[in-house]
Amino acid sequence: MDHMTSKTLSLQTLTAATLTLFLAGCPGDDGGGDGTTTSNNDSSSDGSSVTITTTPTTGMTNMTATDTTDPDSTGTPETSTTSGNPMTDSGTDSGGMTDSGTDSGGMTDSGGMTDSGGMTDSGGMGDDQDVVSAGPGLNLAIPDFAYDGTTASMGCVDLIVADDGTNNVVDVTVNLSASHTWVGDLTIKVVSPLGTIVTAMARPGTAKPDDGTTVADAGDSSNLLASSPVTFSDNGATNAELMGDTIPDASVVCQDDAQCDFLANPDTAPGGGFSDFLGENSVGTWQVCVGDSANLDTGSIDAVTLTIDQN
């Protein structure tokens, strides 16, 4: 046989939406020397015209089939292209049908990721998130009128982060469920395993020194309620120092003003926001602490959740 080439192209039953091709043989051509074989006069079992083009390279790697009858009535003939060795579907049909197969790198994509070979993505590739919680039901007392600027004078919840192999801190978020009257009494701090202290909130409604000093200006008179937890992060919607400033005395933060997501603000305390934790190793014991700088109004911590994004 010329060029020691054997090619067999068989057209099987073609319905309105299905074209089945069997392609067998080895590299070669139809005598034209361009490595391409084209048949324009084949027809399907329903009489529609079909164009089949093969462009063999090593191992018969490319094949295109076009059904010119537009069986799905989209106004565009259907085209399917296969490539690779073995051949793998690499295209979307021109009638709008998207390939739901697995790419040749073996990856199943579940959300907008570009595959670099053999990986399954379910969102956030290359990142890791640890979520550690304590409670509900802690009922940990916030020492009344005891805060002196140190964590030892506060009610603290320990949260242990385990080593999962991805431990570089990228972002930190704290969700606090607590009950306490008069939020202007309260200071909230987060302590990392390395001893870095970030003040998430410092007596909203006033700018007192971070040492528990009590003066005439006692801060905001709103209350916290465990059933309406508040969140602190570097991406919060409301400055923590403005907590409760839009609602009347004795109203409940979050419950009555729908302001539950707060931007950490140390006010007069040293340090910055949660970005102070960036680059630290997350493994070990974290603490979330709440201190009280005035008497009479009391409360407790019900639950805490620490979320750490890592890479």
**DSSP annotation string for 189-234:** EEE-TT--EEEEEESTT----TT----S------BB-TTS-EEEET
Handedness of CA 294, 296, 301, 307 (dihedral sign): negative
Q: What is the pLDDT of residue 44?
A: 44
- Sorted by sequence, the CB contacts under 8 Å of residue 165 that are 6+ apart come out as none
pLDDT of residue 68: 53
How far is the C-alpha of 96 from the C-alpha of 113, rounded, in Å?
21
Per-residue pLDDT of the chain (311 residues; tens, 9 = 90+): 443 333 333 333 333 333 333 333 333 444 444 444 444 444 444 555 545 444 444 444 444 545 555 556 666 655 544 444 443 344 443 444 333 443 334 333 333 333 333 333 333 434 799 999 999 999 999 999 999 999 999 999 999 999 999 999 999 999 999 999 999 999 999 999 999 999 999 999 998 889 877 665 679 999 999 999 999 999 999 999 999 999 999 999 999 999 999 999 999 999 999 999 999 999 999 999 999 999 899 999 999 999 999 99
- HSE at residue 192, side-chain half, CA atoms within 13 A, is 23
Instruction: Find all residues with CB under 8 Å of 288, minimum gap 6, and list them.
Output: 156, 157, 159, 174, 176, 188, 189, 190, 191, 301, 304, 306
Q: Quote the CA–CA distance of 59 and 52 in Å, as a whole number.
A: 18
238: left (phi over 0), alpha (psi -120 to 50) or beta: beta
d(C-alpha 246, C-alpha 222), whole Å: 10
At 72 the pLDDT is: 61
- Residues in contact with 107: Cβ distance below 8 Å, sequence separation at least 6, in sequence order: 115, 117, 118, 119, 120, 121
Distances (CA, A) of 42 to 38, 136, 161, 294: 10, 72, 67, 90
Distances (CA, A) of 235 to 73, 252, 262: 49, 22, 8
Terminal-to-terminal C-alpha distance of the chain: 61
Report percent pLDDT > 90 for the chain. Answer: 54
- The pLDDT score that the predictor gives to residue 71 is 56
Pairing of β 238-239 and β 155-161: unpaired
